[in-house]
Amino acid sequence: MVLFSPNTSRDQRTILRGLLGMTVVENLNNYLGLPIPIGKKKTTAFQEITNRLSCRISYGVDKASFTWSSIAAAAEAFKVSFGWQIGNGGKIDIRVDNWGLEGLNWDTITSNTLNQNEKSVKVLWHADSRRWNVNKVKKVYGHDWGDKICNISIGNEEQEDKMIWFHNPHGCFTSKSTYSWLLLKEMGYGPHRYFWKALWKLDTLSKIRVFTWRVGHEILPMSSKITTNIQGFDKGCHVKLY
């Protein structure tokens, strides 16, 4: 394919076309995506490329924004499951931090018995020993949270406070513990979780345990359940009598 200059005569075009064995065209818009006959109208010539590039950049920015917003949302959800493990108590601010166990933070303080300068977790200990001041703890947090707090171990003086993941026995963040936490969160943290623990420990066939678990979570493949996932499924009786 060849494009001649407008100054090339018809006769010369015919001769060269025969010698080269190529198709002569009157207009060639672009080659490899770039405009060929630019002239003085450079803005018009490159407008199509500019438009395509702008669309791709916008798509990339939107996609990146969605990705980062998803990461930010996940980080916010995970934040409550990280907190301080008590060592010497030097780093823990009970008015700001998550500490001890999940859900224990400034929102769990139920009274105004602490003054503005009492921020360290140490104010909840006896002054002469590294033990919880039970009466003070329950005044600040109430009886329910107070009992939980008084069961939290306190580290020795040389042990630094450490940030941990509450849903792992060793305090380490792992994908396995995260999956288990998300599953429990979906199911709920109610008293029934103790029932499931007892269920998995039963000395019976595994298929019975699994069946009971599926019944409890309403995930048996019954017609009424299948219709919620498959459109057009007939939820009537499918039993055949012989």
At 206, is the pLDDT very low, low, confident or very high (cuts 50, 70, 90)? confident
Delimit the domains of the chain by residue range: 2-45, 82-165, 190-226
User: Quick one: how many helices (H) and strands (E) in the chain?
Assistant: 8, 6
C-alpha 66/C-alpha 197 separation (Å) is 38
> Whole-model pTM above 0.85?
no
Cβ burial 28-43 (10 Å sphere, 16+ → b, else e): eeeeeeebeeeeeeee
- pLDDT at residue 57 greater than cutoff 70: no
Q: Which residue has the higher pLDDT, 33 or 207?
A: 207
What are the tens digits of pLDDT across the range 134-186?
Answer: 999 999 999 999 999 999 999 888 899 999 988 888 888 888 777 777 766 66
